Amino acid sequence: MKRRDFIKTSGMGVAAITGTAGSLLSAPAIASNKKIKWKMVTTWPKNFPGLGTGANNLAKLITEMSGGRLTVKVYGAKELVPAFEVFDAVSGGAAEMGHGAAYYWKGKSEAFQFFTAVPFGLTAQEMNGWLFYGGGMQLWEKAYRDFNLVPLACGNTGVQMGGWFNKQINSIKDLKGLKMRIPGLGGEVLKRAGGTPVNLPGGELFTALKSGNIDATEWVGPYNDLAFGLYKAAKYYYYPGWHEPGPTLEALVNKKAFDQLPKDLQSIVRNAALVVNNDMLAEYTARNNAALKDLVNKYKVDVRKYPDDVLKKLSGLSDSVVAEIANKDKMSKQIYQSYKKFRDNVVAYHKISEQAYLKARSL
């Protein structure tokens, strides 16, 4: 009898424990299976090759990796908000995510420009090194914290082209009076050289160049420049892209929305951005090759190198511009010091690695 009572009592106990455990386990499971819908606004035209499709890829990866628990709908520039209002839209919560480039928001803080590109600065590979292993990402997060944003590195085009012109650039004097679309720190360098920088979204470049509202424009490189048909609006195509040697694109996430996600979904968002960051660079490395051949062979574009003395002068102006920004406030100085320290170290190493190899390969 005692044995049967013990079994009965034990059975009830196990059942009770199982039921309790089941309740404890089911609550988080139900919560974690809640369907969450986000909006992503971008600075790019809808489905634009590379940049726009990179944003699409990010949304697709998040949706698939989460098993549909977190779905993201992408809105191109002007579909929900204008291109240059993405930062405010995500910061204020009108959209949970955005995709663009940090230098577009220099009106908020000039220090943001370091997280996209610095003229004569870090390449794509070097930017990734600084951001993920040199303290850059922590500084980026700190810089965006007051704006209720979480930044994520999310794409890179590699070294860009120098721009489209309707006149030859033979000396630094040829830049005087030039009205050119060129954002970020590169635009300030052009200004110091006597030009007039203009900040326009990509979707307006062809019309502005064709109509003469601007005299020149930089955009990205052969892959994207061909897609926009810029060869129809300008004759000369200059290289290298001294102003954007390794431009990092960003995914912006509303911090409140991000903090409300379960930990596994936060990890999915972060890792999806990492995938896109690497994938986009691989795509541009491959696509630019074929596009350049078409521009030269099919459309007879005149591809020219900036004269060395022009590049040298621009480099000197760039050093002055960057140093001045570094002294504007404590945050800018902290970012600049971190960036410069990493750049000095990586340049020394790459002289005997990447740079030395590329020189040897061209012998």
Residue-wise pLDDT tens digits, 117-133:
999 999 999 999 999 99
Question: Average of pLDDT values for 161-168?
Answer: 97
Nearest to 301 by CA among 223, 249, 234: 234
pLDDT per residue as tens digits for the range 301-315: 999 999 999 999 999
What pTM was estimated for this model as a whole? 0.88
Question: Average of pLDDT values for 172-176?
Answer: 97
In the predicted model, is pLDDT for residue 2 greater than 60?
Answer: no
Separation of alpha carbons 102 and 267, rounded Å: 22
Is the peptide bond prior to 28 cis by the omega test (within 30 degrees of 0)? no
Nearest to 221 by CA among 58, 49, 357: 49
Residue 32 has what pLDDT? 58
Residue 5 has what pLDDT? 46
Residue 33 has what pLDDT? 78
Question: Average of pLDDT values for 88-104?
Answer: 98
pLDDT per residue as tens digits for the range 188-197: 999 999 999 9
Residue 209 has what pLDDT? 97
Q: Which residues contact 322 (CB under 8 A, 6 or more apart)?
A: 118, 119, 185, 336
In the predicted model, is pLDDT for residue 4 greater than 70?
Answer: no
In the predicted model, is pLDDT for residue 96 greater than 50?
Answer: yes
Q: Write the DSSP assignment of 309-323 as a string of letters.
A: HHHHHHHHHHHHHHH
* 112 contacts 143 by C-beta, under 8 angstroms: yes
Nearest to 183 by CA among 202, 169, 200: 200
**Confidence band (pLDDT; 50, 70, 90) for 17?**
very low
- Domains along the chain with CATH numbers: 33-157+246-285 (3.40.190.170)
